[in-house]
């Protein structure tokens, strides 16, 4: 098997085929390098916004550690 280097603008392709009993599924994805950068940017944005939400949600516990230890009965 010989691998040839792709050009900078060539799309990359991934294919998956799943079969289970009478059901089969096939998906093919083609992405350019610019598309991969865009996907990476979107994933980074989601992860950073999630970190910001967790930081905000736990700010009371960081500012008032005693208040978070008291549990109502």
Quick one: average pLDDT of 49-62? 82
* Assigned domain for 46 exists: yes
In a domain, 72, yes or no: no
- Residue 54 in domain: yes
Count up the domains in the chain and report the number.
1
SS3 18: strand
Query: Is 71 within the bounds of a domain?
Result: no
- Residue 13 inside a domain? The answer is no
Q: HSE on the CB side for 42, CA within 13 Å?
A: 6
23: part of which helix (H) or strand (E)?
strand 23-31
**Domain membership flag for residue 1:** no
Higher pLDDT, 24 or 7: 24
Tens-digit pLDDT profile for residues 11-37: 889 999 999 999 999 999 999 989 999
Rounded Cα–Cα distance for residues 48 and 54 (Å): 10
For residue 45, what are the domain limits? 32-64
Distance CA 73, CA 60 (A): 20
């Amino acid at each position: 098997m010989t691998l040839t280097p792709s050009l900078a603008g060539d799309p990359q392709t991934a294919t998956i085929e799943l079969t289970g009993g009478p059901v089969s599924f096939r998906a093919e994805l083609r992405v350019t390098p610019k598309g991969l950068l865009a996907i990476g940017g979107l994933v980074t944005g989601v992860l950073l916004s999630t970190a910001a939400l967790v930081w905000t949600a736990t700010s009371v516990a960081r500012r008032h550690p005693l208040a978070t230890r008291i549990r109502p009965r």
